[in-house]
Structure 1
Amino acid sequence: MTPAIKLLEKNKIIFEILKFEHDANSPSFAAEAAEKLNLNAAQVFKTLLVDVDGELNVAILPATRQVDLKAFAKVCKGKKAILADAKKAQNTTGYLIGGISPFAQKKRLNTLLHSDAQQFERIYVSAGKRGLEVAVAPSDCISLCNAAFAHF
């Protein structure tokens, strides 16, 4: 049981757990989840940490997209955005890379959910462990993470 799953249960969120055998050689964790679980890759969202002008933020976006760092910085009212260092991302969230869930991170950060999520009844995000996904409504993701929809 991960902190993310415990948080979903505590808040009485309707969710589904999906498991798959993670391949340590897989270059893309979200794409691997989509493939192994036979899901629409546009519905599987990855959680990235983005440093905007020295402040960490969370970007939740489809496996089929790359984060547009310029657009992300602009949405955050910043000048420059870069992907956070892996070690810093792990230390800040409490999760390993490839298993970073948007839920129950050690530190609450500004969180943006890509607007593509609005077209789906539910999206798939990491449950806090490699090989473990949860299906949730985008609105639940917004409320639990105190997030906002944005296009980046």
Structure 2
Amino acid sequence: MSRVTPATRALTAAGVAFTVHAYDYDPDAESIGLQAASALGEDPARVLKTLMAQVDGKPVCVVVPSDREVSMKKLAAAMAGKSAQMMKPPEAERVTGYKVGGISPFGQRKPVRTVIERSALAHDMVYLNGGQRGLQVRLKPADARGVLNAVVADVLA
């Protein structure tokens, strides 16, 4: 497995301190984020999942704890939109340039608006997908927010 991905290149270019952590990815896991947290021996609240949604038809990246779900109503409100829905996997792969299970908020094919769940900022360090299945990056949540120019909002269901 390569530890250099568009995500790690984007973080390096931004001058953000991070570490890379590989784990055994289970494609049959019921929840990819929870499986990553378990494999890393981490609290699921600190292992953030990257979801792709649409708000009023425009792509949005949503970063939330792996053990929680997104409220579409709160997501739409956070983006000053009327409606939100999850993006279909083939569309998410096309927009991001990553495969489902390896979608990172960093280094996507083209930048999209990003929302990070407010509670994620309470941790000293968090894990986010590193741009391929079985690869996570560990960094300060404030650094993630800054690199992504993310909106911070309560978007949990």
- Show the counterpart of 1:3: 6
Q: Which residue of 1 aligns with 2:43?
A: 40
SS at structure 1 position matched to 2:36: helix
Q: Gaps spanning 5+ residues in structure 2: where?
A: none
Q: Tell me the residue number matched to 2:52.
A: 49
Residue deviations 1:109-145 (CA, integer Å, cap 9, x gap) = 1101000112101110000011100001111111111
What residue in structure 2 maps to residue 68 of structure 1? 71
TM-score (norm 1): 0.97
The answer to whether residue 137 in structure 2 is matched with residue 122 in structure 1 is no
Runs of 4+ aligned structure 1 residues displaced above 6 Å come to none
Task: Supply the distance in 2 between the matched residues of 1:56 and 1:69 (Cα, whole angstroms).
Answer: 13
Q: Could you give the per-residue CA deviations for residues 26-82 of structure 1, whole angstroms, max 9, x where no partner exists?
A: 121110110011001000000111111111111000011100011101111111111
Percent of pairs with identical residues: 34
For 1:82, the aligned partner's letter is Q
Match among 9, 19, 22 for residue 19 of structure 1: 22
How far apart, CA to CA, are the structure 1 residues paired with 2:18 and 2:115? 20
In the alignment, does 2:134 pair up with 1:134? Answer: no
Helix, strand or coil for the counterpart of 1:33? helix
| Residues matched between the structures, number | 152
5+ unaligned residues in a row in structure 1: which ranges? none
* C-alpha displacement of 1:12: 2.1
Question: In the alignment, residue 9 of structure 1 is paired with which amino acid?
Answer: T
TM-score, structure 2 normalization? 0.94
- Structure 2 distance, partners of 1:26, 1:134, is 20
Q: What is the aligned partner in structure 1 of residue 91 from structure 2?
A: 88
Q: Which residue of 1 aligns with 2:31?
A: 28
Whole-angstrom CA distance in 2 between matches of 1:146 and 1:67 = 20
